């Protein structure tokens, strides 16, 4: 069995509490950075954050390293923060190579009446 490379393992052993406000922002509860870093070190993984926004007929997913999250929102180390979903911020996230994003959309073709 090949040794696992730290660069290939991403994960979070802790679920984060997130409160949604449709299409404007997500409130991300204060992250206990030390506990998170300790857990990632114990599991030999890099700390990443996945933010999933379910709004109407579209689900937007953002995956980014915690360090990138802290660069965008330095106050996250000590306070709850709002992950903005404004168009201007989504454009900003698209310009950051470390922020990966995908969207799922739903349309109804033929359905029961």
**Tens digits of residue pLDDT in 30-70:** 666 667 778 888 999 888 888 888 877 888 899 999 889 88
Q: Average of pLDDT values for 75-96?
A: 85
Residue that is written with structure tokens 């070190």 in the block: 41
Confidence (pTM): 0.68
> Which band of pLDDT confidence, cut at 50, 70 and 90, is reported for residue 109?
confident
What's the Cα-to-Cα distance from 89 to each of 23, 51, 53, 94, 96, rounded to whole Å?
Answer: 12, 14, 14, 9, 11
Spell out a b/e string for 11-47, using b for 16 or more CB atoms within 10 Å of the CB, else e.
ebeeeeeeeeeeeebbebeebeeeebeebbeeeebeb
């Amino acid at each position: 069995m090949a040794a696992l490379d730290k660069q290939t393992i991403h994960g979070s052993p802790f679920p984060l509490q997130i409160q949604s406000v449709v299409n404007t922002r997500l409130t991300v509860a204060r992250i206990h950075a030390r506990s998170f870093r300790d857990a990632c070190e114990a599991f030999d993984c890099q700390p990443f954050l996945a933010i999933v926004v379910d709004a109407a007929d579209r689900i937007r997913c953002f995956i980014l390293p915690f360090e990138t999250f802290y660069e965008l929102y330095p106050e996250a180390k000590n306070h709850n923060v709002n992950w903005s979903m404004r168009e201007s911020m989504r454009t900003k996230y698209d310009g950051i190579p470390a922020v990966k994003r995908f969207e799922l959309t739903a349309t109804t073709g033929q359905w029961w009446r």
